[in-house]
Amino acid sequence: MCIAVLMGKYSGLSEKLIRLREATDPVAREILSNREIAKTPLQSTAAAATYLCLFLHYFGIGTTWMVGPIQAKREIEQLLNVPPEWIL
């Protein structure tokens, strides 16, 4: 079995407000810069995948984490009909 993990693009209200202030507010620019470093949605998705692996291991199912297939990201997204608002 292969499980493709998808991540939704974050678009909460605070994100929208910060983006509106980005051009004129140095604090907003700093917040956005820090978010690029931390990549919170990616970290949350990776944590979820890790817990999925741990959960499966608990039930005696072996797992492995593979990032190699990301080299075929576009092709995999097309094959799985991934909507544009989601990221493999």
Q: What is the pTM of this model?
A: 0.69
Q: Are 85 and 9 within 8 A, CB to CB?
A: yes
Q: Could you read off the pLDDT of 7-55 as tens digits, one per residue?
A: 987 677 888 899 899 999 999 999 988 888 877 788 889 999 999 999 9
State residue 36's pLDDT score: 81
Measured CA angle at 47 (ends 27, 34), to 5 deg:
15
User: Which distant-in-sequence residues (6+ apart) come within 8 Å of 32 by Cβ?
Assistant: 18, 19, 22
Residue with tokens 């593979």: 66
Q: Are 8 and 84 within 8 A, CB to CB?
A: no
State residue 23's pLDDT score: 93
Q: Tell me the domain boundaries of the chain.
A: 10-83
